[in-house]
């Protein structure tokens, strides 16, 4: 198992892509922290991870709140001892098919807060602990909607392109400390998230 002895934080790990990542990390030997705004989902996944014989902590966290993110980092370190891997997976999107002229200011603010600001907050909170040990991995879940500028989801596309740019900046800043930072750009996956959007 390639991640034995490691501790991974997977934001939004209670469902969809995040659940898959959290379970994959556990199967590879990692202990896992699952901060999610939907705490019941996080606790359900935590049960699956415990069944794999790994340590896990699940907690309700609003990743758009600096105070919540700090509390999440503190609780993870208290429960699991450290953080080696951060996966910024939490995200949201407005219903597709809406032209930008129909988007509201609230659409843009909320989409940027959950998809982009949260990545900044979590990276900022976790980075000092990785720098201290001169090792670590940060993986940001962006989207193919960013680089292709998907016409049907303007706020989401722009927010995810922001994640890609932020990833490049943080990667350059943390590389001298032995920390890698990468973004993954999935296409459409048939998760509960997308089924609800398409309904």
Q: Give catalytic residues, as residue numbers.
A: 156
Closest CA to 86 of 29, 2, 11: 11
Cα separation, 155 vs 115, whole angstroms: 10
| Collapsed DSSP state (helix, strand, coil) of residue 96 | coil
Closest CA to 60 of 42, 48, 73: 42
Tokens representing 158 are: 């722009």
Cα separation, 19 vs 84, whole angstroms: 18
């Amino acid at each position: 198992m390639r991640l034995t002895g490691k501790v991974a934080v997977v934001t939004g790990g209670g469902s969809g892509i995040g659940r898959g990542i959290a379970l994959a990390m556990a199967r590879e030997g990692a202990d896992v922290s699952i901060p999610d705004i939907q705490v019941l989902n996080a606790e359900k996944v935590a049960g699956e991870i415990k069944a794999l014989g790994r340590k896990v902590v699940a907690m309700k966290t609003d990743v758009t709140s600096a105070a919540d993110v700090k509390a999440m980092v503190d609780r993870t370190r208290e429960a699991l001892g450290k953080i080696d891997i951060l996966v910024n997976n939490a995200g949201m999107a407005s219903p597709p098919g809406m032209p930008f002229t129909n988007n509201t200011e609230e659409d843009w603010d909320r989409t940027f807060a959950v998809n982009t600001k949260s990545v900044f907050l979590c990276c900022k909170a976790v980075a000092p602990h990785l720098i201290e040990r001169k090792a670590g991995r940060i993986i940001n879940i962006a989207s193919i909607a960013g680089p292709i500028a998907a016409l049907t989801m303007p706020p989401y596309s722009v927010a995810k392109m922001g994640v890609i740019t932020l990833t490049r900046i943080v990667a350059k800043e943390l590389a001298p400390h032995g920390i890698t930072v990468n973004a993954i750009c999935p296409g459409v996956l048939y998760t509960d998230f997308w089924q609800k959007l398409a309904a």
